[in-house]
Structures are given as C-alpha cells and as structure tokens.
Amino acid sequence: MSGLGGLNKTTGGIVIAAVQSQLFRVDTPLDLAKATQHVCDLVRRAKRQYPAVDLVLFPEYCIHGLSMSTDPSIICTMDGPEVTAFRQVCAEEKVWGVFSIMEKNTIEPDAMPWNVGISIDDGGIVVDYYRKMHPWVPVEPWYPGNQGLSVFTGPGGVKMSLIICHDGMFPEMAREAAYLGAEVLLRTAGYTSPIRQAWEVTNRSNALTNLMYTVSVALAGADSTWRSMGETMFVDPEGNILERGDGTVDHVVACEIRPEEVRRRRREWGVENNLFQLGHRGYVAVKGGAGDCLYTYMTDLAAGRYAQAEDKEVKVKDGSVCGFALPNSEYKRDA
C-alpha cells in the first residue's frame, strides 16, 4: 500500500519522496555553495520523477558532509544564502521540502553551532524549525537542542514531526511526537553502515509503538573518511516496511502516506493502542485506568536529578576521545 512506490496518490493521501543525497566533503564556502546547488537540483529531479510528490525529504548533513567542522565560514544562518536557496526552489517547484543545516549559535559568542532541520512549504515559507536534541556524542560537537520537539501541519493537513538521526534511538522522542499529535515522524540522518541494523529496529519500533508512520533517510556514498548507508525506509503504523532504499547515491525513494490509517487505529484499536494506554493503565480493572507516573527515570529527569544505576562508572563523558576540547559553555534553555 505505497501507491506503487509513490507513483500514485489516492484521496486523502500524500506522497513523500526521500532523497539519499550524496555525501560531500565540505571544507570551504565554495564547497558549501556547490552542495546547496546539488540539493536544489535534486528537489527538481524528485518533482520530475514523481509528479504527485507533496514533500521532499533530505538527510541530515545534506550540505555540510560529515567533517563535523565548526569553521564559522561554513556555518549557516536562517537568513543566509543556503536557506534562501531552499525556500526559492520549494516555491519554484511548488513542493514542500525538509533540509538540514548547521546553524550559528546566538546564545553566546563561543558556543557550538546547532544542528537544525527546517521544513519549508510549497510557497517557500519556513513552517517548522527544529534543533537536534540528542547530538551523536562523543562524535558530534553540536549544542543540544533547547526548544523541545515540535509538531507542524504538513501537506494535505497531515500532522508531522521532525527528529534528527540519533534522536530516533530514544523512544521518548517518538512518543513525544505522537503525544503531541504527529501522524508521521520524519527522521533524517548521516548514519554510516554499522548503524544499519539499529536503524531498522528503531524505525519499525517507533512506528508500531506509537501507531504512526515513520519516514527515514540517510546520506549515501563516501568522502575521504566516511561511508554513509542511504537506507531510506517508509514504515506503516503496524511496523511493516512499505518501501526501502539502498546505498545508491542520490536515489529518490517515494511512497504514499495515508494518515487515516493512523487516525483509525488511534481511535478504534483496543489491543496495542499504547499511546492511549500509557496514561490509562489497566482500565479493565479500574475506572478510566491508572494515570500516575511510576517511572523513576521520568520523575528524576523532570526534577533535574537523572542518574542511571551505573552513572559513576560511565567512562566517556566528553568529546576528548574524538579530538574535541572540553566544553566551556553551560546549557541554556531558549527564551
């Protein structure tokens, strides 16, 4: 039920095209400009290959590559040429787009950049802005997202949420998106091949346990150091893989999404309607079910005292193993 891989769209459905864009080595502003142009050209290609497409999804690091460089000359701003180019191509092709940038941090002069995902509508307007909450430590130097997770109304009125790469390894992220009403969880990544099995496990479990679609895409190809896996994956609300990509560079994988498949299950299911049942435990035995929080890690995290049983034994607690200096910045929430 993928609309013949996104070639067809039925009433109430939308088509999403995920692009396994090329992994580039990006060291200079010229490299950044070339990568941005490449991504814009891929938006045009996706629209030609799949005329019914409503949204084009690009991987994390689609214009920055995996160097983890924090060189200010290649760090973006929301009013810079990269975001401007993305807005223009979405308006030109009349299609939604989801893109990745590393953005200048405005909290303090020496703070690390943010890893940001932006969603742009078919008129070229930025409708959602998300800062990655869980950087892939100790490999990534990005400042942890400080605005929380958001849900936005995408094409066709479908409720969507965007998470980035390592975010998807935390079941709390998918549950938060579903709790806020997301029917489709978008996940963009720069993951390399060793993560392939965990990628599938989490994409499928996030879908099933929250009765939602998950749509995930990673970079493809290799630079002088890294090889990314591609591995686009569309998963339905029961955890079944509808469409799957491979490691082919710039391959466009499309699929029809039918939001009513989410809505019916959340309204009508009894068995495994876990999103509802988390807050209504044992409703067969007690009126309305139990709604208290007996999860110690939740209450400890909310109180600022989170500490796992092995907390004092954890050996890697900073980025020095990957060559990063010890941080000087304190974490600050965004006002």
Domain parsing of the chain, residue ranges: 3-277
Q: How many CB atoms lie within 10 A of CB 268?
A: 8
Q: So which residues are the catalytic ones? A: 60, 132, 165
Question: Are 18 and 254 contacting, i.e. CB atoms less than 8 angstroms apart?
Answer: yes
Q: What pLDDT, on the 0 to 100 scale, is given for residue 224?
A: 78
pLDDT digits (tens, 9 = 90+) for 178-194: 999 999 999 999 998 88
**Residues 6+ away with beta carbon under 8 Å from 98:** 55, 56, 57, 58, 117, 118, 119, 120, 162, 186, 188
CA-CA distance, 232 to 209, in Å (whole number)? 20
CA-CA distance, 320 to 304, in Å (whole number)? 25
Looking at domain 3-277, what is its CATH homologous superfamily?
Carbon-nitrogen hydrolase (3.60.110.10)
**Residues 6+ away with beta carbon under 8 Å from 312:** none
**Whether the bond into 138 is cis, omega within 30 of 0:** yes
Query: If you ran DSSP here, which 8-state letter would residue 201 be given?
Result: H
> Nearest to residue 162, comparing CAs of 135, 123, 208, 131?
131
Q: What pLDDT, on the 0 to 100 scale, is given for residue 4?
A: 67
Q: What pLDDT, on the 0 to 100 scale, is given for residue 6?
A: 78
* Burial (0-12, 13-18, 19+ Cβ within 10 Å), 269: middle
State yes or no: pLDDT of 107 exceeds 90: no
State yes or no: pLDDT of 5 exceeds 80: no
Scanning the structure block, which residue is given the tokens 């590393």? 102
Q: How confident is the model at residue 7 (pLDDT cuts 50, 70, 90)?
A: confident
State yes or no: pLDDT of 2 exceeds 90: no
**Element (DSSP H or E) covering residue 179:** helix 171-179
Q: What pLDDT, on the 0 to 100 scale, is given for residue 8?
A: 79
Q: What pLDDT, on the 0 to 100 scale, is given for residue 334?
A: 82
Query: If you ran DSSP here, which 8-state letter would residue 188 be given?
Result: E
pLDDT digits (tens, 9 = 90+) for 243-271: 999 999 999 999 999 999 999 999 999 99
CA-CA distance, 316 to 335, in Å (whole number)? 31
C-alpha distances in Å from residue 266, one per residue of 211, 235, 261, 302: 7, 16, 9, 27
**Residues 6+ away with beta carbon under 8 Å from 207:** 185, 213, 214, 235, 236, 237, 238, 239
Q: What pLDDT, on the 0 to 100 scale, is given for residue 81?
A: 98
Average pLDDT over residues 287-297: 97
Edge-first strand listing for the sheet containing 114-120: 126-131, 114-120, 96-103, 55-57, 14-20, 251-257
pLDDT digits (tens, 9 = 90+) for 23-39: 999 999 999 999 999 99
**Residues 6+ away with beta carbon under 8 Å from 298:** none
pLDDT digits (tens, 9 = 90+) for 123-169: 999 999 999 999 999 999 999 999 999 999 999 999 999 999 999 99
**What is the average pLDDT score of the chain?**
96
**Residues 6+ away with beta carbon under 8 Å from 196:** 229, 231
CA-CA distance, 252 to 52, in Å (whole number)? 14
> Nearest to residue 329, comparing CAs of 32, 39, 106?
106
Q: Global pTM? A: 0.96
Region for 119 from its dihedrals, namely left if φ exceeds 0, alpha if ψ lies in -120 to 50, beta otherwise = beta
Two structure tokens written together for 118: 């932006």
**Residues 6+ away with beta carbon under 8 Å from 313:** none
Two structure tokens written together for 312: 């004092």
> Nearest to residue 165, comparing CAs of 126, 217, 214, 213?
217
Which is more confident, 219 or 2? 219
Which is more confident, 108 or 21? 21
Amino acid at 126: V
> Nearest to residue 192, comparing CAs of 103, 68, 72?
68
Question: How many Cα atoms within 13 Å fall on the side-chain side of residue 111?
Answer: 18
